[in-house]
Amino acid sequence: MIDKDIRILIVEDCMNDAVLLQRQLKKIFSNPEITISNSLENLLYTAKTFIPELIFSDYNLGTFTGIEVMKEIRQVFPEIPIILVTGALGEEEYLNNMILQSASGFFLKKNMNELSSRMLPHIENILDDRSYELENLRKQRERVQKLERLHATLKEAANLDPEQTDPKMLDYYKQIIQDMNDDLDTILH
C-alpha cells in the first residue's frame, strides 16, 4: 500500500466500473481523494478545479474515447499521468493509439478484484519517475485554493453595509473582486 495523500480523477461512463476501480485504488493508496467525470464536457472543468495527480480513464466511453481524454488533458496538464483501464482491447490499433497519445499505462478490467495488485508496481514507478511534476501540481492546486479563499474573503468584504462603509472602499473591493473573477475564470476555463 502506498501511504500518500493523492488526488485521482476517474473518467468512466459506467458508474459500476467507476465504483469497482475506486475500490481497487483504495487498496493501493492509504488516503486517496477520488472524483469521477463521466463526460467529455465536464472533463476539463473537473481536472482544472480538482487538479488530480493521476487520471484513470476507460478507453470506450460511449460518446468519446480515452484518446480524446488524453488529448483534452494534455492541452492543459501535460504532466499528469493517464492510465487507461479498459474492458476490451482487441485490436493492436488501440494499443498503438494509446502509446502514441502518451498514456502512462493501460490495464484490462478483467479480474477486477486483482487489478490493484497488477497496478501497484506500475503506479509506484510512475510516482517515483514523476515526483517533481506531481509536486508542482500540488503547488498549483494550493495556489488555486489560496486564490479561491482570498476571493471569498474579498467578496464577503464587498458585501459590507453600504450605509456604514466608505463608498471608495466599496468600489475598491468590487474592482478587486471583478479582477479576481476574471483571473479565476482564466485559470478554471
Q: What is the pLDDT of residues 16-32, one digit of tens each?
A: 999 999 999 999 999 99
Residue with grid cell 480538482, as numbered in its chain? 50
| Contact between residue 56 and residue 10 where contact means Cβ atoms under 8 Å apart | yes
As a whole number, mean pLDDT of residues 117-135 equals 88
**DSSP string for 122-167:** HHHHHHHHTHHHHHHHHHHHHHHHHHHHHHHHHHHHHTS-TTTS-H
Which pTM value belongs to this model? 0.73
115: pLDDT strictly greater than 60: yes
Looking at residue 187, its pLDDT comes to 59
Please say whether the beta carbons of 69 and 57 come within 8 A.
yes
Stretch 74-101: mean pLDDT, rounded?
74
pLDDT of residue 30: 94
